[in-house]
Amino acid sequence: MPILERSNPLPLYYQLKEVLKQQIHSGHLAPHTAIPSEPELVAQYHVSRATVRQALTELVHEGLLYRQHGRGTFVCEPRVQQRVASELKSFSEELRRRGLKPGGMLLVSELVRGSQHVREQLRLNDEEQVVRLERIRTADGEAIAYEVNYLPYPRAMNVYQRAKEAADGSLYQLMASEGMVPYMAEHVFKGDKANEREIDLLKIPADECGMRVECTTFDETGAPISFTEAFYPSSRYEFQLTLRVASK
Amino acid sequence: MPILERSNPLPLYYQLKEVLKQQIHSGHLAPHTAIPSEPELVAQYHVSRATVRQALTELVHEGLLYRQHGRGTFVCEPRVQQRVASELKSFSEELRRRGLKPGGMLLVSELVRGSQHVREQLRLNDEEQVVRLERIRTADGEAIAYEVNYLPYPRAMNVYQRAKEAADGSLYQLMASEGMVPYMAEHVFKGDKANEREIDLLKIPADECGMRVECTTFDETGAPISFTEAFYPSSRYEFQLTLRVASK
DNA sequence: CAGTGGTCTAGACCACTTC
DNA sequence: AAGTGGTCTAGACCACTGG
C-alpha cells in the first residue's frame, strides 16, 4: 500500500486515484470485488474522507468503479473500464487502443473560402477564410479513411503553418498545442456510398457502402474550432462506441 | 431567488442544482455569463461551500456549466447544453428531442435458441434461450428503422410476457420496470445495404445505403441484458451524437 | 446490529486571474 | 490586493444493506 506524498505538487485525491487505477489495471483489485471502504481508505492513506470521496467519485465517472449504497464500492467489468465511459477519444488513440498503428498522408493543405455548409458550421464572417486539410488515414499501413478538416482561418493560422505535422498524427493534438482545445464534439453519422475521389484514393469497389461522418468541435466557450467530413469504407473500419446510459 | 427547503426529502445540493438548471433554461442565466461565485451562492442559499460545489460539479459534468480557475463559473453554450453531454438517451427520447413522435409495431415476439453471435453477446449457457422481438420503429408515422432485440431468457421472462407494451414505447423502460436497468451500452456502427426483409418492410429502394447498428447493453454489474441489431436507411434517419472530449 | 455510502457543516490554505 | 475556483480537514447525522 503506497503512501501519498504531501510534498508532491499533484493533489492528494489525484495521487489516490492513480494508486487505485494502478491496482485495478494490474489486477490487484479484481472486477466485481469491493475495494476498501471509505473509512478504511481514510485510515490507510491518512487523508480526510472528503479527499477519498473526490477520488472515488471521479473514478465512478470514469467508469472504473460503481457504488452501492449500504454495500460498498466495486470494480467495474473490464468491458466498462476499457473505454473511459462516454468520452470521445481521438481517432489515433482509438486505433492504438485496438492494437493498430495510426498513420496518414497529407494530400492538400490550402486556404479557401469554403462551402456554405462549412462556413455556417464554423460561424464565419463574410471576410474570414478556412484552412482546408485533406488527409488519408491509415491503420497498420492500410488506408481506412478519407478525411477533410476545416479550421477557422485567422485563429488557426499557426496550425496551417504546421499542417504537415498533422499528417500521421493527431490534428487535435496539434490544435491543442496552438490553444484550440476541443471540449465538445457534435457528430452526424450516416451510411453512404463512396464518391469518385474516395473510390480512387482508397482503392475500393465502386458500390461499397461506408460511413459518412460530419464532426464539429467546440472549445470550452462554445466557439467552433473545427469541422470534419470523413468517409470510412465498411470493409476497412467499423465504429465502436461505449456509452454510459443516462441515469434516471 | 428561491429558498431551499430543509424539510424537503431531496438533498440540498440537488435542490440547488434544480434551481440553477431552471434559471439557465429559462434564460435568467445567459450563455457565457458568469453565475454567482461560490461564496455568493453560499450566502444566498445558506448552505456550506461543499454543498454548493457538489451542485456545481454535477452541473459541469452534465454540460450546463464550465469553470475557469480564478475567473468564475460560466453557463455553457446552448448546443453543449442540448444533450446532457456524453450520455446515451433511449431512441424514443431522442426522437422526442427532435420534435418527432416515436411509435412502432411489434412484428414477432418469440422464444428461440438464437445464433452463435447472439448467444456469445449475451453469454448464455447451453440450456438458456433468448427472447426475440422484431420491431418496426416509426417517427411521426413513418417507418425509420427495422430492429431486432434479443434478451436473455430466464431473466427476461416478465419482459417477454409484457412484450406488446414495448411495441411503440421504449423497451429499456419496460426492461427497467422488470429490474433490468441498462448501465452501459456498447455499439458497433457500419454503413451497409438493406437486406430483402428490410427492403420489404421499410419499403425502400433495393440499393439504398443505411446504417447497421449492433448494441449490447449491460447492467451495473456488467451482466449483458440485451442485444439489438437495427438498420436505419439513410434517407429516413441520421444519427446525431454529442460527446464531451476526453480530458487529458 | 454494525458497516456501508450519502449528505452536510464550518472552517482553512492555496493557485490563479484581474485590476 | 481582492476575488475566484481548487484542495483539504475533522468532524456530524442520515439511509441503506447485511447478518
pLDDT in tens, A199-216: 999 999 988 999 999 999
CA-nearest of B97, B83, B84, B102 to B170 is: B102
Which residue in chain B has the smallest CA separation from A79? B222
Average pLDDT of the residues of chain B = 88
Residue B189: CB partners within 8 Å, gap ≥ 6? Answer: A189, A211, A238, A239, A240, A241, B211, B212, B213, B239
Burial of B231 (0-12, 13-18, 19+ CB in 10 A): buried
Q: Report chain A's C-alpha Rg in angstroms.
A: 22
Q: Check residue A182 and give its pLDDT.
A: 82
Q: Check residue A184 and give its pLDDT.
A: 79
Q: Most A CBs within 10 Å: which of B188, B245, B247, B248, as the mutation test of the A interface?
A: B245
Q: Quick one: DSSP state of residue A87? A: -
Cβ-Cβ pairs closer than 8 A, A with B, add up to 170
Q: How confident is the model at residue A82 (pLDDT cuts 50, 70, 90)?
A: low
- Report, as an integer, the average pLDDT of B125-135: 94
Statement: the CB of B72 is under 7 Å from strand D: yes
Q: Are A191 and B234 in contact (CB under 8 A)?
A: yes
Of A74-88, A112-126, B189-203, least confident by mean pLDDT is A74-88
Check residues B225 and B88 and name the one with the higher pLDDT: B225
Which long-range contacts (C-beta less than 8 Å, at least 24 apart) are formed by A200-206? A201/A107, A201/A136, A201/A143, A201/A146, A202/A136, A202/A143, A202/A145, A202/A146, A202/A231, A202/A233, A202/A236, A203/A143, A204/A233, A204/A235, A204/A236
Q: Check residue B109 and give its pLDDT.
A: 93
- Report, as an integer, the average pLDDT of B205-234: 90
| Partner residue opposite B238 with nearest CB, options A189, A218, A232 | A189
Look up residue B163 and give its three cell numbers.
412484450
Q: Are B215 and B176 in contact (CB under 8 A)?
A: no
- By C1' distance from the Cα of B15, the closest nucleotide is C7
Beta-strand runs (E) in A20-141: 65-68, 72-75, 102-112, 130-139
Backbone CA torsion sign across B6, B11, B14, B18: negative
- Segment A98-155, tens digit of pLDDT: 889 988 999 999 999 999 999 999 999 999 999 999 999 999 999 999 999 999 998 8
Rounded distance in angstroms from the CA atom of residue A140 to the C1' atom of nucleotide D6: 42
Q: Which CATH number fits domain B91-233: 3.40.50.150, 3.10.20.30, 3.40.50.80, 3.40.1410.10?
A: 3.40.1410.10
Q: How confident is the model at residue B248 (pLDDT cuts 50, 70, 90)?
A: very low
- Report, as an integer, the average pLDDT of B176-194: 85
Q: Most A CBs within 10 Å: which of B243, B244, B247, B248, as the mutation test of the A interface?
A: B243
- Report, as an integer, the average pLDDT of A63-71: 91
Q: Check residue B82 and give its pLDDT.
A: 57
Statement: the CB of B39 is under 7 Å from strand D: yes
Q: Check residue A80 and give its pLDDT.
A: 61
Contact A66 B220 (CB under 8 A): yes
Rounded distance in angstroms from the CA atom of residue B48 to the C1' atom of nucleotide C9: 6
Class assignment of domain B12-82? mainly alpha
Q: Check residue B70 and give its pLDDT.
A: 95
Domain locations in chain A as residue ranges: 12-82, 91-233
Q: Are A48 and A39 in contact (CB under 8 A)?
A: no
Rounded distance in angstroms from the CA atom of residue A50 to the C1' atom of nucleotide D9: 8
